[in-house]
Structure 1
Amino acid sequence: MKNLALHWKIIIGLLLGIVWAVLSGFFGWSEFTINWIAPWGRIFISLLKLIAIPLVLFSIIGGIVGLGDPKHLGKLGLRTLLLYLVTTILAVSIGLILVNAVKPGVWMDKSVRTENRIAYELWAQQEGHPAHDNTCLLCDDSNQSLIDEVAKRRGYDQDENVAKRLKQVSEQKESGPLQFLEDMVPENVFWAMSDNAHMLKIIFFAIFFGISLLFVPDKQSKPVINVINGLTEVFLKMVDLIMKAAPFFVFALLAGLVSEMAGDDPAKVFEMFKGLTWYSLTVLAGLLLMAFVIYPTIMKFFVKRLSYKSFLKGISPAQMLAFSTSSSAATLPVTLECVEENLKVDPKVSSFVLPIGATVNMDGTSMYQAIAVVFLAQWHMIDLDLGEQLTIVLTATLASIGSAAIPSAGLVMLMIVLSSVGLNPAWIGIILPVDRILDMVRTVVNVTGDATVSTVIGELNGSSKETTEDKKAE
């Protein structure tokens, strides 16, 4: 067992958690599970939330500082960042189109979704957030017995705010067209860092701070950069230490979550996984579309010398390693070799573009976050309007910059995106049973996107190996 890879231990933990929850339903142990096992899952969520803000802050600053001399923010840097931004927005948009078309979150029994909606409204009341849309199941007297049952089962009955009846949500005041820009700029960054819901403000500060640091003389900036890089390593180590205990935490999280949702009715467990199957198929469809259709099409449009087959064949070793490690950073050396040797990109370009991509380009992760947030909203009978879905596009795109290139880092960023639209970040526990395999596939997408952008930038700069060799021959 000691020699077993961590991801296998996590898979075993989540499977045991589900089995425990099913047995709890059959034997009436749900109360014991909720009182004595579920709290450890919530501790796991709290630990992840604890490191989310500083990890994003220092990762983004470090990524921008990694550009080096401000001159690198010139033609090559701007082209690189712009193309990465375009592919990320494209990935998120495709994800939103798919999840709104397929609606994987509605493939469940209506009674289960009704309970989920009540649980969401109880959570929103407890947190002091207004509930989404105009639905208010807590306001319907006919739901009182179900409300009491859900509140007691999920522990909300101990919160004094739940005793008060939720009133209809008043309409929010109309805001101007540039309100989203106002919301991105913090008046006090320390206040913004006090709550994950203000992540856009933190990301803005990190970008502003990182760019400003590039223009400070080396003598003054180097100590700051060393501190930032050191702090980044510390928080990544915290992630590593937390993940060592992840199998136990995942067991507790899944056992508690499924027990809270199903109670002593095991049939509800199977309804839950019916929805997860449709969610997984939607995510996989989007990821495979990006990796094997969108990227080769972009490549074919800009790089005439490479065919669809030669591109995929050239990058396939990096894709296989990405699938097995779920880490863009671990795959980077192989990606560099594939891009330089197989796709014939000048090392001066690839050595600049690919490391940046491993930090800021997370197309697969961003797409998965967009699909997951809308799916979880559908799961809880929440309709996200156009403005909220645009917020998802913006937050997922910017949060991808701070996603560490390590396994399961996307889960931390997903919590940020959930918070940005007023949803419960603890809902990541719902998709944990299928996250590992999806994490492997989305890392393939991330690495393929890095290779695509690197090759396109090399072609636009006229600096492919073949072009260089031709010029020398002349």
Structure 2
Amino acid sequence: MTLTTKVLLGMGLGIVVGLGINLLGLNADGSFVNTFLTNGVFGVVGKMFVNALKMLVVPLVLLSLIAGVCGIGDIRLLGRIGSKSFVLYLLTTAIAIAVAITGAALTGIGSGMDIKSAAEFSGADAPPLADVLVNIVPSNPINAMAEGEMLSIIFFSILVGISLLMVGSRAKSLIDGVETANEVMMKMVGIIMALAPYAVFCLLAKAMANLGLDLFVQLVGYVLVLIAILLFHLFVVLQVLLKVFSGLSPITFLQKMRNVQVFAFSTSSSNATIPVTLRTVVQRLGVDRSVASFTVPFGATINMDGTAIMQGVATVFIANIYGVDLGIGGYLTVILMSVLASIGTAGVPGVGLIMLSMVFSQVGLPLEGIGLILGVDRLLDMIRTAVNVSGDAAVSCIVAKSEGKMDIDVYKDPNAGLEGDLDEVEVQTNAQPAT
């Protein structure tokens, strides 16, 4: 079996086992299953795997970006790639939340409902735009790496890469060293991914054992509308944009992205999925590493399509429950706030609720309304993350195709980048000119 098949099998078995534990009532607090299996074996293995992925993120982003900038070789080309990526990411996020608000408003979810919740949620104030811009430039790059501040790491890496280009031939040995170190990091990704099927099984078994389906019955309207809009954005909006702007086959794209989507679904973290996304975009989709090493970590930081959709649906849902009429102005504010909040927000589990609290504060909705959706948010967060990383990969393909930095033969080859061909594809990607 290929790694993708093993991962999908692990995901399916994990969901079945987790639901079985939950529905049979075996996961009660203090029980043997809860202590030694759900929070023991499943929890420990799952956390170790996620930590292993996170371990690779900062060095991989740092080395990939520096190597990528040096590989591009032209500072003006780097500027084009950066500006195209930024505009496309903001465009997809704006479309996502506009579609979410429209869909939720048309269905009228939450109207006339009487849902009570004891859950509480403390909000967060929206950071001023000036602070977001200032924090892009790190006062201490080492501290930024330790804290995982992605925009700061991206800025520092690009600046190092540009400086190496400006030094010229004297920096060649250092550039070669960075590229070698980058290859070592990609090999580490391969080693960790070999354990993925077992880790995905444990992550999903624990999630389903703890969550179950009870809350879904109570919040069925919110859950179904949100999932429907997320799937619409993934399978329709992103694929239309991919086809219109690049002419590439959406079916091929979706087939090759399954592995990444399963990882994103399991970890609920765009940042933790960066190593897998980067590997797939380069080796399976044929995007030149110099482009992918910029667009993938950049997208994991500012591209929050799935989170934006959740904010739109949740805003309409809570507004209807509390009988608040936001009006056109309120919804436009939600769209603007969601797009701005996505810039510089960490791609980690649960960040969507923090962003939602900022939106609620801005439009005057009660923050305690977030407590109503806390229970189901964990599983929905998994779906949102799969949508987020798919958007990162789609924009990477569009930008690479527009700059002639994409190997179309690799994109069309269904076997490119599979386990047996990793080294071969890696050599082809580095050696062949873009077509």
* Structure-to-structure mapping, 1:302-451, within 5 angstroms: 302-304=245-247, 306-451=248-393
Distance 1:473 1:360 in 2: 27
Query: Is residue 2:6 matched to residue 1:81?
Result: no
* Structure-to-structure mapping, 1:173-184, within 5 angstroms: none
* Structure-to-structure mapping, 1:219-368, within 5 angstroms: 223-230=139-146, 276-304=219-247, 306-368=248-310
Map of 1:204 onto structure 2 = 129
In the TM superposition, residue 427 of structure 1 has moved relative to its aligned partner by: 2.1
Contact (CA 8 Å) 2:268, 2:381: kept in 1 or not? yes
Map of 1:100 onto structure 2 = 105
Map of 2:401 onto structure 1 = 459
Distance 1:472 1:442 in 2: 35
Quickly say closer, same or farther: Cα 1:307–1:381, change in 2 above 3 A.
same
In the TM superposition, residue 373 of structure 1 has moved relative to its aligned partner by: 1.4
Distance 1:224 1:471 in 2: 38
Deviations, residues 43-73 of structure 1 (Å, cap 9, x unaligned)? xxxxxxxxxxxxxxxxxxxx9xx98899787
Map of 2:55 onto structure 1 = none
Contact (CA 8 Å) 1:364, 1:443: kept in 2 or not? yes
* Residue type of the alignment partner of 1:441: I
Contact (CA 8 Å) 1:107, 1:278: kept in 2 or not? no
In the TM superposition, residue 293 of structure 1 has moved relative to its aligned partner by: 1.0
In the TM superposition, residue 381 of structure 1 has moved relative to its aligned partner by: 0.9
Contact (CA 8 Å) 1:335, 1:451: kept in 2 or not? yes
* Residue type of the alignment partner of 1:415: S
In the TM superposition, residue 281 of structure 1 has moved relative to its aligned partner by: 0.8
In the TM superposition, residue 461 of structure 1 has moved relative to its aligned partner by: 1.0
Unaligned runs of 5+ in 1: 20-62, 120-152, 155-194, 214-220, 234-246, 255-269
Contact (CA 8 Å) 1:91, 1:367: kept in 2 or not? yes
* Structure-to-structure mapping, 1:90-239, within 5 angstroms: 90-108=95-113, 112=114, 196-197=124-125, 199=126, 202-210=127-135, 213=137, 223-230=139-146
Distance 2:338 2:77 in 1: 26
Percent identity for Structure 1 against Structure 2: 38
Deviations, residues 150-173 of structure 1 (Å, cap 9, x unaligned)? xxx99xxxxxxxxxxxxxxxxxxx
Structure 1 runs (4+) greater than 6 angstroms displaced: 66-73, 272-275, 467-471
* Residue type of the alignment partner of 1:357: G
Map of 2:11 onto structure 1 = none
Deviations, residues 400-423 of structure 1 (Å, cap 9, x unaligned)? 223322221211111111111112
Quickly say closer, same or farther: Cα 1:349–1:393, change in 2 above 3 A.
same
TM-score normalised by the chain length of structure 2: 0.59
Distance 1:103 1:385 in 2: 14
Contact (CA 8 Å) 2:288, 2:434: kept in 1 or not? no
In the TM superposition, residue 75 of structure 1 has moved relative to its aligned partner by: 1.4
Distance 1:415 1:369 in 2: 9
In the TM superposition, residue 374 of structure 1 has moved relative to its aligned partner by: 1.6
Paired residue secondary structure (1:328): coil
Distance 2:325 2:363 in 1: 11
Paired residue secondary structure (1:329): coil
Paired residue secondary structure (1:402): coil
Contact (CA 8 Å) 1:416, 1:425: kept in 2 or not? no
Contact (CA 8 Å) 1:106, 1:275: kept in 2 or not? no
Contact (CA 8 Å) 1:84, 1:361: kept in 2 or not? yes
In the TM superposition, residue 303 of structure 1 has moved relative to its aligned partner by: 2.3
* Residue type of the alignment partner of 2:370: I
Quickly say closer, same or farther: Cα 1:319–1:472, change in 2 above 3 A.
closer
Map of 1:149 onto structure 2 = none
Deviations, residues 367-422 of structure 1 (Å, cap 9, x unaligned)? 10111012111111111111111111011111122332222121111111111111
Distance 1:78 1:107 in 2: 45
Contact (CA 8 Å) 1:318, 1:334: kept in 2 or not? yes
* Residue type of the alignment partner of 2:92: T
TM-score normalised by the chain length of structure 1: 0.55
Which structure would you say has the larger Rg?
1
Distance 1:72 1:463 in 2: 11
Quickly say closer, same or farther: Cα 1:227–1:334, change in 2 above 3 A.
closer
Distance 2:83 2:133 in 1: 16
Map of 1:165 onto structure 2 = none
Deviations, residues 121-169 of structure 1 (Å, cap 9, x unaligned)? xxxxxxxxxxxxxxxxxxxxxxxxxxxxxxxx99xxxxxxxxxxxxxxx
Map of 2:180 onto structure 1 = none
* Residue type of the alignment partner of 2:229: G
Paired residue secondary structure (1:74): helix
Deviations, residues 235-260 of structure 1 (Å, cap 9, x unaligned)? xxxxxxxxxxxx9xxx9xx9xxxxxx
Count the aligned residue pairs.
295
Contact (CA 8 Å) 1:415, 1:426: kept in 2 or not? no
